[in-house]
Amino acid sequence: MDMIIEIVYFLAAAVFIIGLKQMSSPVTARQGIVWAGIAMVIASLFTFGDPAVLHNTGNLGWMVLAIVAGSAIAYITAKRVAMTDMPQMIAIYNGMGGGAAAAIAAVELVKVARVPELAQGTTVMVLAVLGAIIGAVSFSGSAIAFAKLQGLIKKTIRLPFHMLINLAMFAGAIALGGMMAFSGEVDASILLIFFALTLVFGIMFTLPIGGADMPVVISLFNALTGLAVAFEGFVLQNAAMIIAGTVVGSSGTLLTQLMAKAMNRPISNVLFSSFGSATGGGAEEEVEGSMKEIQADDAAIMMAYATKVIIVPGYGMAVAQAQHKLKEMEALLEERGVDVKYAIHPVAGRMPGHMNVLLAEAGVDYDKILDLDEVNPEFPTADVALVIGANDVVNPVARSNPDSPIYGMPILDADKAQNTIVIKRGRGAGFSGIENHLFYADNTRMLYGDGQKAVAGLIAGIKQL
C-alpha cells in the first residue's frame, strides 16, 4: 500500500506542475486550475490509506470534519468574493497554508516535548523549526496584508526603532528554535515563547509596508508558505507535500521577482521602505498646467473617428465592473473600422493577471490584450489612449523625475498617444499617493465619473454618430 500511495503522490505532483504550466495562459488557465484541484483531491483521499493514519483511527473523524468544513467555507467564499477582492482572498488563503505548516511543526515539537525519544534527529528537528518560523510569519503577515487590502488597516505603522525590534524578535526566534533543534529537547514554555515571537514578527514585519506594495508581499508570503510546507513534508516524510511545497515556493519566488522587476524596485526596497504610504516616497516636482475636462459626447466623437484606440484598464475599471461595457464599446468602434487594443501593465490592478481575467470574462479576444513590451511601440501611432481606472502605471514622472518613488518603473506610454482620455472617479492621486503628471498634459482630457457609467456614456455617444 505504501508503494501505491507514493506513486499516486508522484502522479499528483506531476499534474500540479502541468496545471501550473497551463495557468500561464488565459486560454488554458481554467483547465490547469481544475486539473490541479483534482490532483489535490486524489492525493488527499489516498492519504487516508497511509498506515500511520489507519492505525490512528481516533483522528479519522476529525480529519473528515476538517476537510468538509474547510471545503464548504472555501466554496462559499470563492463563489461570493468579487474579482476586485481576489487579492485579499489569496492573502488569507495563503496565510492559512502557512498557519497549517506551522501547526504541523507545532504538533511534531509538542510530541518531542512529551516524549523526547520521538525526536527524529537534528536534520528533521531543524526542518521542523524552520517550517514553524516561516509558516507562522507567513500566517500572521498574510493576515495583516489582508487587513490592509480590505481597508481594515488604512495606515502604515512604523514604531520607533522598528527595524531593531524586528531584528531582536527574529534573532530570539532563531535562538530558541536552534536550542530546540540541536538539543533535541523541547520545553513547553520555550515553545510558546518561540511561536509568540514568530507570530508577532510576521505582524511587525508587514505593518510598515505600504498598501501599493501589498501584492508583492502577498506573492512573497506565498513563496514562504510553499517553502514551509516543503520543510514539513520532510518532517512527515510525505512526498506530495515536499513536491507541492517546492512548486509553490519556486513559482511564488519567480512571481515576486517579476512583480518587483515590473516596478523596477529590488525586493529589499519593497520590504523595507514605505512606498505607497503616507510617509514614504521621495520629493515630487511641482505639476505644471491644469486638468482639462471633457464630456462623454466629445470623447465619443474623438474615438469614433479614430484609426487606432488603445484602452488601458486599471483597478478603477475592476471596481466599476466596466469590462463588459468596454467590450460593447470595442464592438461599436470596430464596426466603424477602428483598430482597438488593450494595454496591460504587469502590476495593473492588485495582482498580475487581474486585468486579463476581467477582460477575458467579458469576452475580449486574447490577441487584443497586449503586455507592456508589445503595446508601448504602438502608442505613438494611436489616435486615442483611453485610460480607465489606471494611475501609477501610466504616470510619466516615472521617466522624468529621479526623486520620485516610482522613478525607473516601466510604464505604459499612454502619454505618447495623439490624444489621451482618462476616466477617473475623482481628482485624487493613485494607490501609491503620487500625483500623476499625465492628467495635466496638453493632450490629456479628463472624463470624470464612475467607470461603467462613463463608458456607457461613450457608447451612447458613438451610437448617435
User: Which structural domains are found in the chain, ordered by start?
Assistant: 81-272 (no CATH), 296-464 (3.40.50.1220)
The answer, yes or no, to whether residue 277 has pLDDT greater than 50, is: no
Question: Facing residues of 386 across strands?
Answer: 311, 421
DSSP three-state, residue 291: coil
Ordered DSSP codes for 176-188: HHHHHHHH----H
Instruction: Give the confidence band of 432 by pLDDT, cuts at 50, 70, 90.
Output: low
Region of residue 266 (phi > 0: left; psi between -120 and 50: alpha; otherwise: beta): beta
Instruction: Give the confidence band of 281 by pLDDT, cuts at 50, 70, 90.
Output: very low
Segment (H or E) for 297: helix 296-304
| 367 φ/ψ angles, rounded to the nearest 5 degrees | -65, -20
The length of the chain is 465
- pLDDT for res 348: 81
User: Which one is predicted more confidently, 200 or 17?
Assistant: 200
Instruction: Give the confidence band of 427 by pLDDT, cuts at 50, 70, 90.
Output: low
Instruction: Give the confidence band of 197 by pLDDT, cuts at 50, 70, 90.
Output: very high
Q: Which amino acid is at 171?
A: A
- pLDDT for res 247: 87
The answer, yes or no, to whether residue 409 has pLDDT greater than 80, is: yes
Q: Calculate the alpha carbon distances from 183 to 104, 108, 173, 409, 460 in Å.
A: 20, 15, 15, 48, 75
Helices (H), 115-187: 122-150, 162-183
Tell me the pLDDT tens digit for each residue of 211-254: 667 778 888 999 999 999 999 999 888 888 888 899 889 888 88
Contact 82, 140 (CB under 8 A): no
- pTM greater than 0.85: no
Q: Angle 426-429-431 (CA atoms, 0-180°, nearest 5)?
A: 110
- Chain centroid to Cα 310, Å, comes to 26
The answer, yes or no, to whether residue 17 has pLDDT greater than 50, is: yes
Tell me the pLDDT tens digit for each residue of 394-406: 999 888 888 877 7
User: CB within 8 A of 222, min separation 6: which ones?
Assistant: 90, 94, 248, 252, 255, 256
- pLDDT for res 347: 81
- The catalytic position among 213, 392, 413, 415 is 392
- Report the share of the chain in percent with pLDDT over 70: 91
- pLDDT for res 52: 66
User: CB within 8 A of 10, min separation 6: which ones?
Assistant: 239, 243
Identify which of 107, 13, 101, 5 has the alpha carbon closest to the alpha carbon of residue 48: 5
Q: How many CA atoms lie within 13 A of 419 on its CB side?
A: 19
Tell me the pLDDT tens digit for each residue of 295-313: 999 999 999 999 999 999 9
Handedness of CA 223, 228, 234, 240 (dihedral sign): negative
For residues 428 and 239, what is the distance between their CA atoms, to the nearest angstrom? 51
The highest-confidence range among 54-63, 189-198, 201-210, 275-284, by mean pLDDT, is 189-198
Identify which of 324, 448, 305 has the alpha carbon closest to the alpha carbon of residue 387: 448
The answer, yes or no, to whether residue 156 has pLDDT greater than 80, is: no
Instruction: Give the confidence band of 278 by pLDDT, cuts at 50, 70, 90.
Output: very low
For residues 258 and 256, what is the distance between their CA atoms, to the nearest angstrom? 5
- pLDDT for res 141: 94
Question: Facing residues of 370 across strands?
Answer: 343
Contact 49, 8 (CB under 8 A): no
For residues 64 and 41, what is the distance between their CA atoms, to the nearest angstrom? 13
The highest-confidence range among 152-161, 188-197, 255-264, by mean pLDDT, is 188-197
Tell me the pLDDT tens digit for each residue of 68-126: 998 899 889 888 887 778 788 888 999 999 999 999 999 888 888 877 766 677 888 99
Residue with cell 481606472: 389
Tell me the pLDDT tens digit for each residue of 315-364: 889 888 899 999 999 999 999 999 999 999 988 877 777 888 888 888 99
- pLDDT for res 430: 53
392 catalytically annotated: yes
**What are the b/e assignments for 283-295, b being 16+ CB within 10 Å?**
ebeeeeeebeebe
